Structure 1
Amino acid sequence: MANKNLSLLDYSEITGSAPIALRTHGWRAKCLQRLVRLDLPVPKTVALSFNAVRAIAAGQLPDLGGLVGRFASDQLLSVRPSAENSDWGGPSAVLNIGMNDERHAAISQTHGEAVATALYLGFVQAYAVHVARLDPDLFPLGEPCLPALQAALYDFEKEMEEPFPQDPKRQLAEVLRSMARAWEGTSARLLRQAKGAPEEAGLGLVVQAMAGGFGTSESGAGVIQMIEPVTGAPQVTGRYALGGQDRGAVSNNPQAIYLTRDPRGPSLEDQDPEAFAQLVRHVEVCRLKLREEMQIEFTIVNGQVAVLDALKVQRSSRAAVRVAVALAEDGIITRKEALTRVTPRALSELLHRQVDPRGPREVLARGIPASPGASTGRLVFTSTAAQASASRGEPCILVRRETSPEDIRGMHAAVGVLTERGGMTSHAAVIGRGLGVPCIVGATGIRIDAKNRQLHTGRHVLDEGELITIDGTVGEVLRGAPNMLEPATDRWFNTLLDWADEIRDIGVRANADTPSDARSARNFKAEGIGLCRTEHMFFEDDRLTVMREMIFADTGQDRAAALARLLPMQRSDFKELFSIMQGLPVCIRLFDPPLHEFLPHTREGMKQLADALDKPLSEITRRAEELAEFNPMLGLRGVRLGVTLPEIYEMQARAIFEATIETAKRGEKVVPEIMIPLVSAMREVELVKARIDAVAAAVRVAKGSAFEYRLGVMVETPRAALRAGEIAQHADFMSFGTNDLTQMTYGLSRDDAGRFMSYYIQAGVFPEDPFHVLDTDGVGELLLIAAERGRRARKSLTLSICGEHGGSPESIAFCRAAGFDYVSCSPYRVPVARLAAAQLTLKAEDAAEEMPDLR
C-alpha cells in the first residue's frame, strides 16, 4: 500500500476489481480498467486519484518506492493525464521515465546504440521542456545521435546547475509534481474552462509500463479504428510507425505505414498479418462491449500486441449520426440512446454542403456563422448582379454592408451571403437561415468598396468576379474553391429522425414564405407551415410594380384596382402552398411591413419608378417622404395597415379563401389559418376579424362553396401578451413572434444590437444574446402570462412560437414545459427541432422514473 499517513496519496494498480471510478480517477484510468476487464493485453498500470494529484501539487508525494516496486526493476515507465472528460485535455504525457546512463548502456548491448540513444535523447528533451520547464529552443527535436544526446545532457546540467537526474524514483517524482502543478496553473484552468470543464475539475494520472519502441525491426506503435471519421463508413483506419512508442509517433509522420493493404505503400497487414488480425478483433470487442466506436492506441514488440489506451473516435456530425444509428440497428445500444448521442445542432451541418475538413483552407476573413453550410461562387456586390449571375448559371456570393428587404431577390439568386455588419438576428441572418443559404454576418476586418467593386480583407483586395467560398458553419471566408462534402440527408439521417418523431410530444412546423420553402419543409417532414410571411411574395418584379401602383393610388378605388391585379397572383401563391403541404395546416400572416420598404431608396430608383408609373419625379419623391418614418419598426405596419388600409387585408383574405375552394375541388381539404400581425389591442382584432368574416361570407355566396378557416394573432408586443385574455376571445390561436417581442421588451434593435452585444455578454449584463437564445426570464415571463391568460379565456386556444427562436433546443424546452402545441422555425431548422423535441421527451421520462413514488 502507499504511505498510510497520507491516505489521499493512495494509488491503485488497475485491475478488473480495483476501485477505479470516472469521477475519482478520470476517463483514461476508467477506460484502461474496462480494457483490462475485456482481457485485452494492457501493460501494467497504476492510477493516482484526483485527490492524490491535488496532494502532490501541494508538495506531498506518494510512496515512490512502493509505486515503482509495482513494476520490474528495469522497466521504463510513462505518465499520462486522466481528467474526468477527455476533451478537457491535460499536461503532456512523459515517456521512458527511468532512462539514464545505466539503462542506455544496457539497451545499447541488447538493441544497439542507436535505439538506446533515441530513447534517452527523447526522454531528456521531454523532461527538460515539460518537467524542468527549460527553453524548448535549447532542446530541439532532430535526428537522434550520440553527440546530440551528449549536448542535451550538457545543456541540461548547465541550465539547472546539476546533472540530469539518474534515479528513476526521483525522475518519476519530478514528473508527477510537474504535471500536478501544471493542471492547477491559471492558464491550464482557463483553457479547460473554455472547453466546458468546471472550475474544480480534477486530474488523475496513470503510470504505465512502456511497451514498445525497441525490439525487432517490426516493432512500433500505431492507432486503429473501424470507421472513417468524416463519413462514418466502416473502414479500418489508422497508421503504424516503426520504432514508435505512442500515438504521437504517427501524427504527421510521412514514414508511418498503412494498416490495411494499400497500393500506395507498405502495410501492417502485409508485414504482420497475425498482429493486424488481433488488433481488428480488439477493436470489434471494444465496439460491442463498450458500446461505442473506439480508437485503440497500440504497440507491437517482437510480434506481441499491447493496448496502451482507447478513446472514442473523434468524428464529424455526419459520422456521428451514422454511428449512432448503426450501433442501434446492430442491437448494441437502444434507439433511445442513439437519439441522445447526436446533438441537435449537429444535424444542421448535414443539410448543407460542407468544406471537407481533410483538405487545405486559406482563410481570408472571419465573421459570425449566421446560417450553416458552405458555398463557392464569384463575388458580386448588388442584388442586380446576383440575379444576372444566376441567369448565366454562374454561382455567386452576394456581399453587402448589410442587407435589406429589397435584397431578397439577390439573396434568392446567390448561393451565399456575406455582410460587413449584423448579428445573429440581422436581416441577412434570418433570411439566410430561412432560405438555407450559407451566410456570414459581422465579418471583422473586411471593407467593401462599392464604387470600385472590391472587397478588402486586410491582406488581400478581391475584385468582383473573383472566386471565394464562405463557410457559414464556422464563419470563415476562404479563397478559391476547396473540396466540398455534399449534404448527408441519407438513410442514417432519416432513420434517426423517424425514431425522434415516434417519441417527441410537441409539434414542429416550418416558417415558409415561398413554394421552394414549402417543399423544403415537406422534405424535412414539418407538420405544416407555422408562419407564411406574405410580404415576401410582393418583391418579385411584376408584383413590385403593382404594389407601388397601389401605394401611389390617389383614391380607394384606384387602390382597389391595383389590389385586384395582385389578387390572382396571391391566389396562385396560396394554391401552390396548399398543394405542396397536402392538407397539412398552413398559417398565413397578413401583410406586415411598412409600405416604404417597397419604394426605391436612390434617386435613380425614384426616376425609374416615375417612368414606370408615368408620374412626375416630384410626386414620387413627395410620396416617399410622406411614407418615411422616424421609427418604422414601431410605425404604420402590421395590423395598423389592416385597420387604416383595409383593402390590403381584404384582398389577401379573398385570395386565401378562393385558393382554399379551388384546392378542395381537387380533393384536398384545407383549413387555412389567418394570422393578424403586431396586435396590441382587442379592438384591432375585432375590426380586422369583422372584415375577414365579411369577405368569407361573400366568397361562400359567390362561389357556392363552404369552407372553414381559423383566425389568430401574432403576439409580438408586450401589451398583447399582457392583454391576451381579452384578445383570445376573438382568436383561435396565438403564435408568439419572439423576434419583435424580444426587441420591444428589451428596447433593442435586433439589427443593430450585434454591434455591442458581445460587450454586454462579456460584462455579464446578459448571459446570452437574447435574439439568439430566448430570454426565459423576461420575455419568457410574458409568454407564460399570455399563455395562462389566453387559455383561461379560451381553453381550446392553440399556442405556438414562430420567431427565430423556434428551432432552438432551449426554446423548445421552454415551450414544451409551458404546454405549447407546436414550434415553428425555418425549414432547415426543422430536423434540429424534431431531434431536440425527442431528446427533451426522453429527458422528461428519465426524470419521471427517478422521482420517488409518494403514494
Structure 2
Amino acid sequence: MAKFVYDFAEGNKDLKDLLGGKGANLAEMTNLGLPVPAGFTITTEACQRFLAEGSHVDGLDDEIDRHLAALEAAMGRRLGDPADPLLVSVRSGAKFSMPGMMETVLNVGLNDESVAGLSRQAGGNDRFAWDSYRRLIQMYGKTVCDVPGEEFEDALHKAKEAKGVRDDVQLDADDLKSLVSAYKKVFVKHVGHDFPQDPRQQLDLAIEAVFRSWNADRAVLYRRQERIPAGLGTAVNVVAMVFGNLGPDSGTGVAFTRDPATGESGIYGDYLQNAQGEDVVAGIRNTLPLADLEKIDKKSYDELLQIMATLEGHYHDLCDIEFTIERGKLWMLQTRVGKRTAAAAFTIAAQLVEEGMIDLDEAVTRVSGAQLAQLMFPRFDLGGDPASLTRGVGASPGAAYGSVVFTSARAVELAAAGEKVILVRRETNPDDLPGMIAAQGILTARGGKTSHAAVVARGMGKTCVCGADQMEVGRDQFTVHGQVVREGDVISIDGTTGRVYLGEVPVRPSEVVQYFEGDLDPALANEPLVAAVHQLMTHADERARLRVRTNADTGPDAARARRFGAHGIGLCRTEHMFLGDRRELVERLILAHNKTERDDALAALRPLQRNDFLEIFREMNGLPVTVRLIDPPLHEFLPSLEELAVHVALAKERGEESEEAERDERMLAAVRRMHESNPMLGLRGVRLGLVIPGLFAMQVRAIAEAAVALAAEGGRPRPEIMVPLVGAVQELETVRAEAEKIIAEVVGDSGVEVLIGTMIEVPRAALTAGQIAEAAEFFSFGTNDLTQMAWGFSRDDVEGAFFWRYLELGIFGISPFESIDRDGVGRLVRIAGEEGRATRPGLKLGVCGEHGGDPESVHFFHEVGLDYVSCSPFRVPIARLEAGRAAVESAGSDHR
C-alpha cells in the first residue's frame, strides 16, 4: 500500500519528486539539526491521486491521524484545544518553486473557543489572538471556499479608516474582534454557512484546497511559462505554527546567502517586526533590510548568519531562507536553492568555483542559454539626463520602457495589440501573473526583493522595480510628489538601480555583447559578470561536442557571428541575395521567351552571386560555409497577382498601348502561370532547380568560382552546397551529376573541395534517408519546414489562429516551432540520422532551422548525435553554452 505521509525526520533533500521542494528541504534542515517546527508532509502522489479521482484518497485520513497524533505529542498540545491549542499551517510545495502560485492557510485550528486559549498561551495577548483568527478566516475563506479576497480587504480597509490608522498593526484587540465578526459575515454571505468550528474539518478541507490549487489558472499559466510538467502535483506540508506577530520581540523575514540580483556576497533579505507568514512576500508593508535585525535582536541575527553559512555550505549554492522569530526564538520555516537573476547566476557560479565549492562542470550546468540571452539585451543610456520620477528597489535587472497600465487585463490587451507596457501596481499578487508575463516590466509601490513581484519577475527574467514607496497608486494613475502619471503615459524602469524615469530612455549595448564583439577584454574589464561569462563560456566550449554554426546571408552577419564564436555557416539562404535592385534580373529570368533570354538573365546574376559568396567565404576563411540553393517559389519575387491584375485592367480601360503596359501584361501572364494554391508545397526547392534550366547551375558555378578566387588569395574556402526540399534520392542524384561537372570544370587543380548534401525537411526524406545518403555527403535538418509538414499546418496561418488554444488546453506545452517536438519531428530526425549513417558512416549531420538556437532543442540534438547546430548570429553564444551544458550533463548521466 502506498505511503502518503512522511514525518520531516523521514525525508531528505533528494526526495523532491515525492515530498516537493519545500518538504524535502524541511526534512533536510531537520536532519541537520536546525530549529525547524515539527510537522509532516503529504506526498505529491496523494495529490495526483486526489486530482485524478476528484475525492479524498483512500487511506490518507488514517495516515494523517497517526502523524497528527505524533505532532500533538511532540508539541504537548492538541489541534484546536480550547484551553491550549495547537495551530498548524497548511502549505503547498511542488518539486519546482512556484512562488505564490498555489495556496497556503495559516493558523488552522482556531475557532471561537480556542482563540481565548491562544490568548492565554501568549500571556494574555488578546490582540495577537484575534489578529491570528481574522487571518485564518480570510485565508481559509479565499483559499478553501473561493470567497472574493477583495471583500476581506474592503472590511480591513474600513476598520483602519474608522480607527484613523494606516497599518494593520495599529488596530487593537477590540478592533480585530469586530473585524472577525465582519469577516464571518462575508464568509456566510458567499458560502452559505458559518465559518467551520471543527479544527479537523478545517485541516482536511485546507489540504484538499492546496491539492486543487495545483490546477488553478495562475498555477497552470506559471507552469506553462516555466515549462514545468503538469502531472507532477504538489505536496502539502502541515507544520506547527510559530508566531512572528507576538510583539516587537517577534517577526518574520526572508534571507538570501548572496544577493539574488547581482550575486555579490553579503547580508541580503527583508525583515518585518511583529508580522506573520505572508506579510513579507505579499509586499503589503515595506520591510527593513535584513542587516537591521542585528540592532533589533543580535542573538537571533548571529544565529541566523551561522545557519545561512551552514545551509550554503551544505547546498553549495545560493539559499533562499524563510524564518520567524517568536519572542526571541529563531525558527527556520523553509529553505531552497534561491531564484536569481541571470547576472547573479553567472557571478555566483564563478564565485563558487573560486571558493572550491563546485567544479567548472557543475558551474556550467548552473547557468543557461536563456539566462545568457537576458544578459545580451541593452541597458539604459543615461547621457541625456532623463527626468527621474522616483526610486525603488532594483529587484530584477534590465531596462524596460512602455505605456503605463494598472491592471493585468489591460496589460494583456495592449501587449496583444503590439504595444510595450509597464504594469504598475501597489503590490502584485498571483492573479496578476498574465499581466506580468505580457508586460515589459513591473513597478510596484510596496514590497522588496522578496516580494511576489520581485520573485516572479526574477524567475521570468522580467525587469522589476519594487518598493517605490513615494508613489501613490490609484485606479488609473499614480502620483509622485505631485507629478501625475496616467495610464498610457510612457515610463522607463531600471531593474538594476531601481530608478524610474518619465518618458522613453534610450538604451546602450550590454557589456556581455561588447565582450562577445571583442570590444571588452575580460582580463581587463572591471566587471565580475564579464569575467564570469568568459570563464564559463570557455569551459562550455572545451566540453562541447556539438559545433555551433550560424545562419548568415551577408558578409557583416557572417563577421558578427564569427566574433560571437560561430564555427562556420550552417545556412546561407541565396534567395535573400535576389532582393532589392536585383529583383529586376529575376523578373527577366521568369519572363524569358527563350533560352537566350534566360541565359542572359542568369549570366547577369552570376557575378553578383559570386561576389556575395566571396565576401562570405572571406569572413569565414577556414570554416565551413553551407550554401542552400534557391528554395522559395519564384513567384515570391514577382508582384502580387491581385495588384497586377487590377493595374493591367485599368490600363486596358484607359486604352494604354505603351511598352510598360505590354510588359505588365507579360508579367501578369507569368504570375498567373506560376500561381499556386499552396506554393510552399509546390514548385520550389529542388523541383524549381529541375524545372528551370540553368538556375542551379548558375548558383553552383558562382559558388565554385568564389571559392577558387579566395584560394587564389591564399585563403582556405570550405564550401558546402545544400540542395533543398529533396524527397527522393533521384532528385539529388540529378542535381549532383550536373553540379559535379561544373565544379570539376571550375576548380581544376586549385585544391578547393566542395561538399554536396541536402536539407532534410520533407518527412519522406527522413524516412528514406538511407537511400538519400548514397548521394549526400551531409544532411542538414530544416526543422521549420519539417515541423510544418509533420504536423500538417502552415506556421504563418496557425500560430495566431489556434496555437493559443492548444497551449491553453495543454496539447502543446510550448509551440513546436519554438522548441523541437521530440516525439514526432524529433523522431524523424533520429531515424534520418541513424539510417543515413548506416549507409554512409562519415555522414555529417546538422540542423539549420530556428530550433538550432533553442536551449532545449540543442540538448536533443546532442542526444541524437548531430555534429552541429546553426542559428542566427545573436543566438550563437546561447547555443555554444547549451552545447557545453549538454555534454557535461550527458557525461554525468553516463557515470551514474
Q: TM-score, normalised by structure 1?
A: 0.72
Partners of 1:64 and 1:295 in 2: CA distance: 28
Please list the CA deviations of residues 631-675 of structure 1 after superposition, one character each: whole Å capped at 9, or x if unmatched: 322333323333343433333233323322332344331121111
Are 2:842 and 1:796 equivalent residues in the alignment?
yes
Are 2:282 and 1:246 equivalent residues in the alignment?
no
| Aligned-residue offset at 1:532 | 0.7
* Change beyond 3 A, Cα 1:605–1:662: farther
Partners of 2:146 and 2:590 in 1: CA distance: 75
> What's the counterpart of residue 391 of structure 2?
none
Partners of 2:885 and 2:220 in 1: CA distance: 26
> What's the counterpart of residue 229 of structure 1?
260
| Aligned-residue offset at 1:574 | 1.8
Pick the aligned partner of 2:322 from 293, 297, 300: 297
Partners of 1:19 and 1:707 in 2: CA distance: 58
Verify the 8 A CA contact 2:257 2:312 in the aligned structure 1.
no
Secondary structure of residue in 2 paired with 1:672: strand
| Aligned-residue offset at 1:182 | 1.7
* Change beyond 3 A, Cα 1:341–1:185: same
Secondary structure of residue in 1 paired with 2:97: helix
> What's the counterpart of residue 643 of structure 1?
690
| Aligned-residue offset at 1:533 | 0.5
Verify the 8 A CA contact 2:401 2:420 in the aligned structure 1.
no
Verify the 8 A CA contact 1:734 1:799 in the aligned structure 2.
yes
> What's the counterpart of residue 29 of structure 2?
35
Q: Which amino acid aligns with 2:796?
A: D
Secondary structure of residue in 2 paired with 1:740: helix
> What's the counterpart of residue 579 of structure 1?
618
Pick the aligned partner of 2:353 from 318, 325, 328: 328
* Change beyond 3 A, Cα 1:256–1:576: same
Q: Which amino acid aligns with 1:87?
A: S
| Aligned-residue offset at 1:592 | 1.9
* Change beyond 3 A, Cα 1:104–1:649: same
Partners of 1:201 and 1:765 in 2: CA distance: 18
TM alignment of 1:441-590, pairs within 5 A: 481=504, 487=510, 488=512, 490-539=530-579, 541-590=580-629
Pick the aligned partner of 2:39 from 26, 39, 46: 46
* Change beyond 3 A, Cα 1:800–1:11: closer
Partners of 1:825 and 1:708 in 2: CA distance: 25
Partners of 2:873 and 2:414 in 1: CA distance: 21
Pick the aligned partner of 1:341 from 355, 366, 387: 366
Q: Which amino acid aligns with 2:665?
A: S
Partners of 1:39 and 1:32 in 2: CA distance: 11
Q: TM-score, normalised by structure 2?
A: 0.69
TM alignment of 1:57-456, pairs within 5 A: 61-62=65-66, 67-71=71-75, 77-81=87-91, 83-85=93-95, 87=97, 90-95=102-107, 100-104=115-119, 107=122, 118-119=131-132, 121-123=134-136, 125-126=138-139, 137=151, 140-142=155-157, 143=160, 144-154=171-181, 171=199, 173-185=200-212, 188=215, 195=223, 196=228, 199=231, 201=233, 203-215=235-247, 217=248, 219-234=250-265, 236-249=267-280, 251-260=282-291, 267-268=292-293, 276=301, 278-300=303-325, 305-353=330-378, 362=404
- After TM superposition, the structure 1 stretch with the greater mean CA deviation from structure 2, 611-620 or 308-317, is 611-620
Verify the 8 A CA contact 2:5 2:64 in the aligned structure 1.
no
* Change beyond 3 A, Cα 1:730–1:203: closer
Pick the aligned partner of 1:675 from 715, 722, 747: 722
> What's the counterpart of residue 852 of structure 2?
806
| Aligned-residue offset at 1:534 | 0.9
* Change beyond 3 A, Cα 1:480–1:302: same
Are 2:853 and 1:821 equivalent residues in the alignment?
no
* Change beyond 3 A, Cα 1:369–1:649: farther
Partners of 1:20 and 1:80 in 2: CA distance: 22
* Change beyond 3 A, Cα 1:374–1:659: farther
* Change beyond 3 A, Cα 1:366–1:600: farther
Percent identity between matched residues is 33
* Change beyond 3 A, Cα 1:72–1:709: same
> What's the counterpart of residue 424 of structure 1?
none
Verify the 8 A CA contact 1:222 1:238 in the aligned structure 2.
yes
- After TM superposition, the structure 1 stretch with the greater mean CA deviation from structure 2, 267-276 or 42-51, is 267-276
Partners of 1:285 and 1:597 in 2: CA distance: 65
> What's the counterpart of residue 654 of structure 1?
701
Please list the CA deviations of residues 48-79 of structure 1 after superposition, one character each: whole Å capped at 9, or x if unmatched: 54479965658973476663342366687442
Secondary structure of residue in 1 paired with 2:269: strand
* Change beyond 3 A, Cα 1:286–1:482: farther
* Change beyond 3 A, Cα 1:564–1:720: same
Q: Which amino acid aligns with 2:543?
A: I
* Change beyond 3 A, Cα 1:831–1:103: same
> What's the counterpart of residue 474 of structure 2?
none
Verify the 8 A CA contact 2:349 2:367 in the aligned structure 1.
yes
Verify the 8 A CA contact 1:512 1:532 in the aligned structure 2.
yes
Verify the 8 A CA contact 1:712 1:731 in the aligned structure 2.
yes
Partners of 1:707 and 1:368 in 2: CA distance: 55
* Change beyond 3 A, Cα 1:273–1:556: farther
| Aligned-residue offset at 1:688 | 3.2
Secondary structure of residue in 1 paired with 2:74: coil
Verify the 8 A CA contact 1:81 1:91 in the aligned structure 2.
yes
| Aligned-residue offset at 1:773 | 4.7
Partners of 2:148 and 2:684 in 1: CA distance: 67
Q: Which amino acid aligns with 1:242?
A: Q
* Change beyond 3 A, Cα 1:690–1:615: farther
Verify the 8 A CA contact 2:102 2:216 in the aligned structure 1.
no
Are 2:873 and 1:848 equivalent residues in the alignment?
no
Verify the 8 A CA contact 2:127 2:176 in the aligned structure 1.
no
Partners of 1:223 and 1:115 in 2: CA distance: 22
Q: Which amino acid aligns with 1:547?
A: V
Partners of 1:244 and 1:375 in 2: CA distance: 37
Partners of 2:504 and 2:639 in 1: CA distance: 35
RMSD of aligned alpha carbons = 4.9
Secondary structure of residue in 2 paired with 1:229: coil
Which residues of structure 1 form unaligned runs of 5+?
A: 1-5, 261-266, 377-415, 417-437, 439-459, 470-478, 851-855
Please list the CA deviations of residues 28-48 of structure 1 after superposition, one character each: whole Å capped at 9, or x if unmatched: 3432343345554x2542325
Q: Which amino acid aligns with 2:103?
A: P
* Change beyond 3 A, Cα 1:287–1:668: farther
Secondary structure of residue in 2 paired with 1:510: strand
Are 2:708 and 1:699 equivalent residues in the alignment?
no
Please list the CA deviations of residues 323-361 of structure 1 after superposition, one character each: whole Å capped at 9, or x if unmatched: 334333432233333333345444444443499579786
Verify the 8 A CA contact 1:544 1:598 in the aligned structure 2.
yes
Q: Which amino acid aligns with 1:796?
A: G
Which residues of structure 2 form unaligned runs of 5+?
A: 48-55, 78-83, 161-170, 380-395, 422-439, 441-461, 463-485, 493-501, 514-529, 652-656
